[in-house]
Amino acid sequence: MAITGLAARGPRSLLRQIREALASGGPAQARLDMVVRIIALSMVAEVCSLYLRRATSDLELFATEGLNPDAVHNTRLKPGEGLVGEIMRLGRPLNLSDAPNHPSFSYRPETGEDPYHAFLGVPVLRGGRAIGVLVVQNRTERLYSEDEVEDLQIIAMVLAEMVAGGELVDEAELKGVELAPHRPERLKGLKFAEGLAYGEAVLHEAPVASQQLLSDDATREEERLKTAIGALQSQLDIMLDGQHGIVGPSFEVLETYRMFAHDRGWNRSLEEAVRSGLTAEAAVNRVRSEHRARLSQARDPYLRERLHDLEDLNDRLLRHLSGDGAAPRVLPENAILIARNLGPADLLEYDRTKLKGVLLEEGSGISHAAIIARAMDIPLVGGLSGLRDRVSQGDPVIVDAESGEAYLRPRPDVIEAIMARIEVRNLRRQEFARLRDTPAFTRDGAKITLLMNAGLTVDIDILHETGAEGIGLFRTEFQFMVAEELPRLEAQTALYSHVIDGAGDLPVIFRTLDLGGDKVLPYLEADREDNPALGWRAVRLGLDRPALLRLQLRALIWAAKGRELRVMFPLVTTVEEFRTARALVDHEITWAGRRGRPTPSVLRVGVMIEAPALVWHLDALLSMVDFVSVGTNDLMQYLFAADRGNPRVSERYDFLSTPALRVMKTIQDACAESGTPVSVCGEMAGRPLEAFALVALGFDRLSMPPSGVGPVKRMVLSLDREAARRGVVHLLKGSGGSLRSEIETLARKLYVSI
Ligand code: PEP
Ligand code: MG
């Protein structure tokens, strides 16, 4: 195709010309040369060059108009080398009026680029990853205008898709270009929820694929975009406004969303991208790519958080564009979810039957997202740094939450090995299933009661399958976390009735709302706190908002319908707090009685021991309560002053250490002396070795995630409790810190199955 005269300005006509050039056929290199020529002409630039990243990470000159043609496929730059390398590293444009004077300028004689001063380079972004750099240059010293920068970015995005689609680069050449990571990789992280899984990567923050990048009808695309933005804005407005005055801790987050959604700059960038000839979806992806590349460089955690908000907003907008604003994501059959981090409610949005595993770049073992993963029996490995850069949507991946590793694009022999291990795991599960109806007695005849932690309606369905003897902890806040607005009395009553009915004769302990901390709700009013774990959470919030707590207690009383009711309060720190909370229960019972409602046949009100202060006031506390349950997740967080949600510190201290076990022994001894029933319901109760230590210390009620019941029962059945007690008590007299290996040795010596 001949290019005559100066091309019309603007990316729209430029994109049309590129399309025409491509339609002319011919060898790939000739088409690529034609494309850079059209860009140079259209932008009135003397030079236009395209560099692409090789799998070696080097940037190679693939085409140029204006530089020496012999440099094509010969000039290579290391990552970070020269201005081009710098753009690649930063993932954002560089616009310079005098390039040779820039500290990163590196002169390559073979290119003959010395006479050019003005320089504009933009990253060629695909899915937020830079796969190359597109550059224009002029002799004269000048800065390119904002419009020109914008135009070149749009062209770079279209080029990225064309390169990936094989339209511009020879198939043989394309193999060497790193469009996406393709080598097998193994990443080491931490296991947060046990198990093994093999499946297909699904990016939690994935863009909806835009089928078509270039539009034929800009007006129609603009209309579609406007409608989608309008729908998104009003959805967010409703989320924020319809809160009946109860607006919440993540209010600020939502407010930021709303700010972004109404943001003129964002809207304008989208509109301009559409006007330039992109489809609305492509426009969203382009603006997203740019934000992502820019913000992911930010060191400031606040800014990086904003990236998370923006990602979500973009996903929502794409869903509106596809005409499905509120629809949940469709998962492939064996889905492995890939995310930076997950909020407590995020996992619940996915189809449990298809979600087989989770890999997180960050995360922590006792964060609520991990607890939910364990409750759903989904293996989760976290703390995998660099994960999201290394995995693409659809990649085969393995979650090895036995060793705490992730395999990306594994080789066939690795897949075979993992499948064999999955098989062994299934066989062990069958063995646990056979133990289901065997009561958990130790070899020396002590009965250990194994209970299940729950929080979702689906948990009730599996209660009887696990062989647990009841629910030792029902986390009522899960219902609140998945709701769009505060669940009403009827909804709460319905859930609790379902749980009590489903449990049949088995006891259920309801824990009143434990919100705040890492469990923030969009509709509950709270200020942003510097230390949410030490802040306004759990019973503190309930006592300050008695209407909320009383509503819940009322729902529990109604649901019990004259049957037994067991309730406990989380994070009670002083005996006065317990007294006040207990008075609310009594008040509600009286209120129900006055209205002729049936009151519980038996009422047991207990407390969770999670705040260390309470351990030093057990003498006063135990005479006031019907039972206690030790929440070791929080108790240890406060004991070791280590945020349970922060992976840097949460795995630093061992629950099987002298201070931790001494505290547990203090609690057990005091409860035994006063005759107060006590259980442990933190995550440690569900791990065989930890459970071994707890039973040795005298605990005989353990409440755990469903997947823990089988392994812990097998441990109990093999245990001589008296011998274990002597061994652990002896260890606690020593000066050792972590006793994990000593306890493990002891368990092996006693032939305990752990
Ligand atoms: C605990 O803190 O140990 C506990 C069981 O409660 P949660 O994990 O829900 O805070
Ligand atoms: Mg707790």
Choose among 334, 51, 92: nearest CA to 178.
51
Per-residue pLDDT for 2 more than 50?
no
Select which of 204, 291, 320, 681 is catalytic: 681
* pLDDT tens sequence across 596-623: 999 999 999 999 999 999 999 999 999 9
Per-residue pLDDT for 283 more than 60?
yes
Tell me if residue 364 falls in helix, strand or coil.
coil
Per-residue pLDDT for 176 more than 90?
no
Q: What is the pLDDT of residue 544?
A: 93
Q: How confident is the model at residue 274 (pLDDT cuts 50, 70, 90)?
A: confident
Residue 173 backbone phi and psi in degrees, to 5: -65, -40
Residue bearing the bigger pLDDT, 270 or 592: 592
Distance CA 3, CA 34 (A): 9
Residue indicated by tokens 């492995």: 336
Listed in sequence order, the residues at least 6 apart from 627 whose beta carbon sits closer than 8 Å to its beta carbon are 509, 566, 568, 604, 606, 676, 677, 678, 679
* pLDDT tens sequence across 542-587: 999 999 999 999 999 999 999 999 999 999 999 999 999 999 999 9
Give buried/exposed letters for 235-268 (b at 16+ CB in 10 A, else e): ebeebbeebeebbbbbbebbebbbebbeeeebbe
* Proportion of the chain above pLDDT 90, given as a percent: 53
CB-ligand 1 contact for 475 (6 Å cutoff): yes
CATH number of 435-749: 3.20.20.60
Ligand 1 atom 3: residue of nearest CA: 631
Per-residue pLDDT for 99 more than 80?
yes
Identify residue 149 by its one-letter amino acid code: V
Q: What is the mean pLDDT of residues 261-274?
A: 80
Q: Which CATH superfamily includes the segment(s) 185-207+329-425?
A: Phosphohistidine domain (3.50.30.10)
Give buried/exposed letters for 120-156 (b at 16+ CB in 10 A, else e): bbbbbbbbbbbbbbbbbbbeeeeebeeebebbbbbbb
Cβ 224 vs Cβ 280: under 8 Å: yes
Choose among 152, 165, 146, 131: nearest CA to 31.
165
| Distance, CA of 1 to chain centre | 50
Taking each helix axis from N to C end, the angle separating 457-466 and 706-717, rounded to the nearest 10 degrees, works out to 20
Q: What is the pLDDT of residue 557?
A: 97
Q: How confident is the model at residue 118 (pLDDT cuts 50, 70, 90)?
A: very high
Active site residue 368: yes
- Nearest atom (ligand 1) to Cα of 633: 3
Assigned token pair, 529: 């706190």
| Distance, CA of 429 to chain centre | 28
* pLDDT tens sequence across 416-471: 999 999 999 998 889 899 999 999 999 999 999 999 999 877 678 789 889 999 99
- Nearest atom (ligand 1) to Cα of 682: 3
How far is ligand 2, taken at its centre, from the CA of residue 344, in Å?
Answer: 14
Assigned token pair, 384: 């995998």
Q: What is the mean pLDDT of residues 371-400?
A: 87
Per-residue pLDDT for 228 more than 60?
yes
Q: What is the mean pLDDT of residues 341-348?
A: 71
Q: What is the mean pLDDT of residues 693-703?
A: 98
Burial class (CB in 10 A: 0-12, 13-18, 19+), 23: exposed
Nearest ligand to the C-alpha atom of residue 453: 1
Residue bearing the bigger pLDDT, 193 or 247: 193
**CATH match of 11-174 with 3.30.450.40:** yes
* pLDDT tens sequence across 291-308: 766 665 555 555 555 565
Distance CA 421, CA 416 (A): 9
Select which of 291, 320, 368, 671 is catalytic: 368
- CATH fold of 218-322, please? Enzyme I; Chain A, domain 2 (1.10.274)
Ligand 1 atom 1: residue of nearest CA: 631
Ligand 1 atom 8: residue of nearest CA: 633
DSSP 177: B
CB-ligand 1 contact for 179 (6 Å cutoff): no
Q: What is the pLDDT of residue 210?
A: 39
Mean per-residue pLDDT of the chain: 86
| Residue ranges of domains in the chain | 11-174, 185-207+329-425, 218-322, 435-749
Residue indicated by tokens 């996915």: 350
Choose among 193, 191, 683, 687: nearest CA to 453.
683
Q: What is the pLDDT of residue 1?
A: 36
Q: What is the pLDDT of residue 294?
A: 63
Distance CA 750, CA 138 (A): 80
Q: What is the mean pLDDT of residues 72-95?
A: 89
Among 76-80, 95-99, 224-228, the minimum mean pLDDT is found in 76-80
